[in-house]
A = this chain, B = another copy of it.
């Protein structure tokens, strides 16, 4: 039977559905099942499975580690949402809103522990190396989140610093998923490295696209308010690019717009967008996104696996690069 992305997603959803994480006390485990059930693209487990499949078609050794990657991602969301004071996640109340902050802290903690327990299904010969990869990635994701929080208090964030932050906060996990898939399938270190780099570049592209879609995406499809990052004065790739390219006049105007609290949101978005347009921020960002996706494709091309399987992975990355949500 043909293996499709839809099939991969079904396998993942089924596995998530049957995994309870734990039973008693219910207050601890229900929020975990809740956040795992409210959807998302399942991009991380899909990437791990497709990377594994480049070298090995018998998926059973990869399913639970793939679920673990999704669980880790959701654990970070549960705690990040507390820190960002976010009321909604995927259109549903966040855990600290639906329950309370203490529940979100403690459920998140046990979720990370249960993620490690899922990782113990990894074949013993790979276990040490696999966990070392995971730990390294997990620490870097936390470091990225801390950098992101630090940026909120600073007015002198550079584009380089921003790139370093999204590398950690977003790209590391995608790189891990792809490298881990290759590792579990028995790929050699050269091919592991290629897939890691592929995930890394795709992860950066993915995050830049997130920044772009916040302002230029279709509000209905994207499911967020257009321009939310501008209203929140978030230091995104768009804003930092604009600030780095703006002449004295526009830079002053931008900074003034950022400092205004009384201005209507719509007006603020419109004014900032006008400056972005003048400075060709959209085009520059799109070029950057394409550059990173192209780098990802190059790594994939060099990977020693069947053309058919590589094409499937490439097509999946392309759907991510063409996404409007």
Q: Do A24 and B106 have beta carbons less than 8 Å apart?
A: no
Interface hub of A82, A108, A110, A113 (most chain B Cβ within 10 A): A113
Q: Do B135 and A25 have beta carbons less than 8 Å apart?
A: no
Interface hub of A112, A128, A143 (most chain B Cβ within 10 A): A143
Is A150 an interface position by the 8 A CB rule? yes
- Within 8 Å by CB of A120, from B110, B120, B131, B143, lies B131
Is A109 an interface position by the 8 A CB rule? yes
Give A128-156 interface residues, CB cut-off 8 Å to B: 128, 131-132, 135-136, 138-139, 142-143, 145-147, 149-150
Q: Can you list, as one digit per residue, whether each of A117-132 has a CB less than 8 Å from chain B (1) or not (0)? A: 1001000100110011
Distance from A227 Cβ to chain B, minimum over Cβ atoms (Å): 25
Q: Do B132 and A105 have beta carbons less than 8 Å apart?
A: no
Q: Can you list, as one digit per residue, whether each of A1-43 has a CB less than 8 Å from chain B (1) or not (0)? A: 0000000000000000000001011011000000000000000
Is A83 an interface position by the 8 A CB rule? yes
Q: Do A135 and B120 have beta carbons less than 8 Å apart?
A: yes
- Within 8 Å by CB of A110, from B25, B108, B143, lies B143
Could you say how many copies of this chain the assembly holds?
A: 2
Across-interface contacts of A131 in B (CB, < 8 A): 116, 120, 131
Given contacts A25-B150, A150-B27, contact A113 B128 (CB under 8 A): no
Q: Do A142 and B109 have beta carbons less than 8 Å apart?
A: yes
Is A79 an interface position by the 8 A CB rule? yes
Distance from A77 Cβ to chain B, minimum over Cβ atoms (Å): 12
Is A244 an interface position by the 8 A CB rule? no
User: 5 nearest interchain CB pairs?
Assistant: A110-B142, A117-B135, A28-B146, A83-B102, A113-B138
